[in-house]
Chain A
Amino acid sequence: AQSVTQLDSQVPVFEEAPVELRCNYSSSVSVYLFWYVQYPNQGLQLLLKYLSGSTLVKGINGFEAEFNKSQTSFHLRKPSVHISDTAEYFCAVSHNTQTGTASKLTFGTGTRLQVML
């Protein structure tokens, strides 16, 4: 079984400040890692994903995340946030071992990023 922990339920930050949203996972097998963003009353949009290779992954809207295998973490960062980044952010994992499971996502409970003026 796999699980995802998002340590912060809410993160308030001022506009143009940097932000880090934390994500830790546990799994007995190799995983793929994802960050999704959800704007109010909308579906989920993929920000970025880690499959293999470079541990630093760049995504859309200026976000990036770093995979740390030893710490089983996949924290999301942005050097300067904008008011439009206010949303719910979800970290998710899936197994990378076989078909039928590579698309089964296990989600964290989400982090609400509130950008203030």
Chain B
Amino acid sequence: NAGVTQTPKFQVLKTGQSMTLQCAQDMNHEYMSWYRQDPGMGLRLIHYSVGAGITDQGEVPNGYNVSRSTTEDFPLRLLSAAPSQTSVYFCASSYDRASGNTIYFGEGSWLTVV
């Protein structure tokens, strides 16, 4: 069972570089999302999607782009990396039901911007 798969696990970027964090799930979940985790701040929602072709902003969307061309994939793009984007990034997925969904998280991607 693959669940939610994130790549890469570790990445070092220079300021101004761009990159894409990949996220794939094999559970046919409608809902996918990206969070960032910073010390003392818990997890904060960056972007989310309720289905293919539909995305929306979360709490901290600036500096990030997303797209959802398929149900399985939800990549997160950093257009011009900044040191403030040094963080641990988690992708998550679930069924989109108004019934208290179990949300599955990937293993995380550690990003350092220098």
Where the two chains meet, the residues of A that have a C-beta atom closer than 8 Å to any C-beta of B are 4, 6, 9, 32, 34, 36, 41-46, 49, 51-52, 90, 92, 94, 96-110
**Are A108's CB and B31's CB within 8 A?**
no
Name the A residues within 8 Å of B41 (CB-CB).
Answer: 109
**Are B103's CB and A46's CB within 8 A?**
yes
B61 at the binding interface (Cβ < 8 Å) = no
Name the A residues within 8 Å of B101 (CB-CB).
Answer: 102-103
Question: In the complex, how many angstroms separate the beta carbon of B101 from the nearest chain A beta carbon?
Answer: 5
Complex Cα distance A52/B99, Å?
A: 10
**Are A90's CB and B58's CB within 8 A?**
no
Q: Per-residue CB proximity of B40-54 to A under 8 Å, as 1/0? A: 111111001010000
Complex Cα distance A6/B45, Å?
A: 18
A43-B108, A108-B42 in contact; A32/B102 too (CB < 8 A)? no
Pairs of residues from A and B, 10 with the lowest C-beta to C-beta distance, nearest first: A51-B100, A107-B42, A43-B105, A32-B100, A44-B105, A109-B42, A103-B31, A107-B43, A103-B94, A43-B107
Name the A residues within 8 Å of B105 (CB-CB).
Answer: 36, 43-45
**Are A103's CB and B103's CB within 8 A?**
yes
Complex Cα distance A34/B105, Å?
A: 14
Decide if the interface of chain A is mainly helix, strand, loop or mixed. Answer: loop
Cβ contacts A to B, 26 pairs, < 8 Å: A4-B42, A42-B107, A43-B105, A44-B90, A49-B100, A52-B100, A96-B99, A98-B98, A99-B96, A100-B31, A100-B96, A102-B98, A102-B99, A102-B100, A103-B31, A103-B33, A103-B95, A103-B103, A104-B45, A105-B92, A106-B45, A107-B35, A109-B40, A109-B42, A110-B40, A110-B42
A107-B44, A109-B42 in contact; A100/B50 too (CB < 8 A)? yes
Name the A residues within 8 Å of B75 (CB-CB).
Answer: none
**Are B99's CB and A51's CB within 8 A?**
yes
The closest CB in chain A to the CB of B50 belongs to A100
Give the one of A6, A44, A108 with max B CB within 10 A.
A44
**Are A99's CB and B98's CB within 8 A?**
yes
Give the one of B4, B40, B42, B106 with max A CB within 10 A.
B42
**Are A90's CB and B96's CB within 8 A?**
no
Q: Per-residue CB proximity of B73-114 to A under 8 Å, as 1/0? A: 000000000000000001010111111111101111000000
